[in-house]
Amino acid sequence: MTFTLHPQLDQDTIALGRFKLCHVRLMNERHYPWFILIPEGDNIQEIHQLNSNDRLQFIHESCYLAEHLQQHFKADKLNIAAIGNKVPQLHIHHVVRFETDRAWPNPVWGQFKPEPYSESALTSILNFTQPLITAYKP
Amino acid sequence: MTFTLHPQLDQDTIALGRFKLCHVRLMNERHYPWFILIPEGDNIQEIHQLNSNDRLQFIHESCYLAEHLQQHFKADKLNIAAIGNKVPQLHIHHVVRFETDRAWPNPVWGQFKPEPYSESALTSILNFTQPLITAYKP
């Protein structure tokens, strides 16, 4: 099976690693910790198009990520969403929200032009995600 | 276990029935077929707070609904999201999107004031959902 990342996802996000099913990427937007899971699969646009094993694998990976994001960032809320109106390749947003963030309480999509991370802020994210991804047990 | 629906959800949506875990409700907004799953549970705000059985049950119910929504409405895209910045009780949006709908390609949240269904349009939705919910096998 070949996996090709949609060019828009490639442009907007930074590769962090992968779980068993999903590639894990970071939206390069410093205002919210915003992670994206992209299940590997051919021409999959909706979660229900995953086969039954992959559906279970997906919810496992999504909850693993979500649980650790909430703990690590002391999130006020997580926003988890499969939208894809502009980028059809299935990708699931996991956005850490704070009552003090610039879009709160609105969703983040289409609100502001993303501003990229500084090198040090990105390093700090990587220092959190690398052990998290390595420790993942399917 | 007692289940109390958040007053905002009660006000904005119409009860359609329930699967095993989730209550199924319809957003009273005629511009998009917009369904909401609300897992029964005490003080649950995030999907990952469901126990492992309920997580699997949730993805099963979500995919069952999504698959039938896409077929029935010939959706261009589904938007599936757990947001909850304003209404903390866990509820997962399943919105049927069309390239011709009034918010496309933006997400629907916070875009327009909802306009309620006419009686006949609501009947047509109920004629689709009632057999769907009755036929659900956990």
Domain ranges of chain A: 7-135
Per-residue pLDDT of chain B (138 residues; tens, 9 = 90+): 678 999 999 999 999 999 999 999 999 999 999 999 999 988 999 999 999 999 999 999 999 999 999 999 999 999 999 999 999 999 999 999 999 999 999 999 988 999 999 999 999 999 999 999 999 988
Give me the architecture of the A7-135 domain, per CATH. 2-Layer Sandwich (3.30)
The more confidently predicted of residues A116 and A138 is A116
Measured between beta carbons, the chain A residues lying within 8 angstroms of B108 are: none
Contact A63 B47 (CB under 8 A): yes
Task: Please report the number of interchain residue pairs, chain A to chain B, with beta-carbon separation below 8 angstroms.
Answer: 99
Q: Is A35 helix (H, G, I), strand (E, B) or coil?
A: strand
**Can you tell me the ipTM of this complex?**
0.96
Q: What is the pLDDT of residues A14-63, one digit of tens each?
A: 999 999 999 999 999 999 999 999 999 889 999 999 999 999 999 999 99
Written as six digits, the tokens of A121 are 């802020």
Spatial contact of A21 and A58, defined as CB atoms under 8 Å apart: yes
Q: What angle do CA B35, B62, A78 make, to 5 degrees?
A: 85
Please name the member of A46, A66, A85 whose beta carbon is closest to the beta carbon of B47: A66
Look-up of token digits 């279970």: A56
Contact B109 A107 (CB under 8 A): yes
Contact A82 B80 (CB under 8 A): yes
d(CA A67, CA B50): 11
Q: What is the pLDDT of residues B3-36, one digit of tens each?
A: 899 999 999 999 999 999 999 999 999 999 999 9
Interface of A with B in 99-128 (CB under 8 A): 104-107, 109-110
Measured between beta carbons, the chain B residues lying within 8 angstroms of A79 are: 81-85
Task: Judge if pTM exceeds 0.95.
Answer: yes
Spatial contact of A12 and A114, defined as CB atoms under 8 Å apart: yes
